[in-house]
Amino acid sequence: MDIYFSPSLEVENKANKNGLTISAVGDPEDPEFYIFYKRPISVVKKQFFRKPQTVVEDYISEITGQTKEDVIECLNALIKNDLEFLRRKIA
């Protein structure tokens, strides 16, 4: 029996609660990367006979099939606080 494990790295900006988790999968010589983007968002929940409520929660979106260069771009965007880039790339 073989046991496989995908190494992961998690980085978070504690000030704005935006973060990335990066996992490497596949061939160690040519890995594919999964990037998970965690951020707070506002969600409007409709309720019967009441006004909509706004709930702020942690939201995670992901993108698969990424390269080392994609990972570097996303990490740089998080460091530079370019959250719009991360939303466009990973949302």
> Distance between CA atoms of 24 and 31, rounded to whole angstroms?
6
Query: What pLDDT shows up at residue 10?
Result: 97
Would you place residue 12 in the very low, low, confident or very high pLDDT band (cuts 50, 70, 90)? very high
Residues ≥6 apart with Cβ < 8 Å to 36: 20, 21, 22, 23, 60, 61, 62, 90
CB 81 within 8 A of CB 12: no
Query: What pLDDT shows up at residue 23?
Result: 96
CB 41 within 8 A of CB 54: no
Give the domain ranges of the chain.
8-90
Query: What pLDDT shows up at residue 2?
Result: 63
Two tokens, residue 1: 């029996």
Average pLDDT over residues 49-68: 83
> Distance between CA atoms of 52 and 54, rounded to whole angstroms?
7
Would you place residue 56 in the very low, low, confident or very high pLDDT band (cuts 50, 70, 90)? low
Stated pTM of the model? 0.82
